[in-house]
Structure 1
Amino acid sequence: MSHRDRVVILGGTFTPIHNGHRALLHHAFRTASHDGAGDGHVVVGLTSPELATETRSDPAHADRLGAWTDRRDALEEELDRIGGAYPASCEIIRLEDPAGPAASREDADALVTSPEATAQRRAHGINERRLDAGLSPLEIHTPPFIVDEEGNRISSTRIRNGEIDVHGRLLE
């Protein structure tokens, strides 16, 4: 990675990986792979089990996510598929803090986040922390929700509950 690469950060639990996650990942790669010097770099923070327990409205949901290494392996496979279409490189890091490297990484340029209110508040809080630390604020990129066959938002919770599949098809 050169010092001129555009660095884009996003994070989440990514389990199971669904079309909404794929949209976020594509958006991150497109944002990093801008015209200009460097190929770009995407940093994907994969939520640790401890952080998942801490940040869930129902901490019991964290137990349903699966092992971090299994989630990392599935995410690596997905990144190999998606990333091949873009010049940007990527890496997966273990996310132990809700702000992750976005709050302190000096070379970061942008943060890709979902439209959820909690994610938006977190993104703006990260920029406040960056400003307090004398860093430039990040561009905040928010692709729209991806919806199922009936127009409802695709989510990992709905998939785990057996309502829809990873592509948003309704299940009986």
Structure 2
Amino acid sequence: MKIMVGGTFDPLHDGHRLLIRRAFELAHPDGLVIIGLTSDSFANRKSHPIHPYADRYRDLTTYITSLHPKARWEIEELHDQYGSTLDADFDALVVSEETFPVGQSINQKRRERGKPCVEIHMIRCVLAEDGRWISSTRIWRGEIDTHGRLIHRISQKEE
């Protein structure tokens, strides 16, 4: 199967890791996984700082390589939320609860273009220790680490 997944992946956290692992599970050993990685200009719409594309590409490649995937894979640069999903021939899209509406929009736009809809596989967002979603924003704010563990700060009263 040919599977597509995309994101900014900065910082790469346990939710992202689950999304990517699921894409490889669906692809099977003889499949192909296309990972869309947002360009710097597209990623800069985020509310927090973003590492440069080259750094995010390196971190993503390091993580994927550590999985020792049997399926082939490639990374494509995304300049918008759709990338090549509107015209490419592929079987399934892996999304999170948060990005599920984008998956639905992709299928709607594919229908409008006379392309077949693709399967959408939604994973649940991974929860941090406090029961809230792990997110890059929370990590950048210093609330949690990339595994969802709470970061305890020493307050002035405790000093």
Q: TM-score, normalised by structure 1?
A: 0.84
**Which of 36, 41, 44 is the matching residue for 1:53?**
44
Amino acid at match of 1:70: D
Question: Which residue of structure 2 lines up, in the alignment, with residue 3 of structure 1?
Answer: none
Question: Which residue of structure 2 lines up, in the alignment, with residue 87 of structure 1?
Answer: 70
Amino acid at match of 2:80: D
**Deviations 1:40-79, CA, capped at 9 Å, x for gaps:** 110000001111234x4x4xx3xx1111001100100011
Q: Shift of residue 88 of structure 1?
A: 1.0
Map 1:112-131; keep pairs closer than 5 Å.
112-116=94-98, 119-131=99-111
5+ residue gaps in structure 2?
Answer: 153-159
CA RMSD across the alignment: 1.3
Does 2:26 align with 1:76? Answer: no
**Deviations 1:72-113, CA, capped at 9 Å, x for gaps:** 00100011012x1x421111111012111111102x110111
Amino acid at match of 1:8: I
Question: Which residue of structure 2 lines up, in the alignment, with residue 28 of structure 1?
Answer: 23
Query: Among the aligned pairs, what percent are the same residue?
Result: 39
Map 1:140-159; keep pairs closer than 5 Å.
140-159=120-139
**Which of 5, 29, 38 is the matching residue for 1:10?**
5
Q: Which ranges of 4 or more aligned residues in structure 1 deviate by more than 3 Å?
A: none
Amino acid at match of 1:101: S
Question: Which residue of structure 2 lines up, in the alignment, with residue 19 of structure 1?
Answer: 14
Amino acid at match of 1:162: G
**Deviations 1:142-169, CA, capped at 9 Å, x for gaps:** 1111111121110111111110111111
CA separation in 2, counterparts of 1:91 and 1:128? 25
**Deviations 1:112-131, CA, capped at 9 Å, x for gaps:** 11101xx2221111101111
Q: TM-score, normalised by structure 2?
A: 0.91
Amino acid at match of 1:23: L
5+ residue gaps in structure 1?
Answer: 1-5
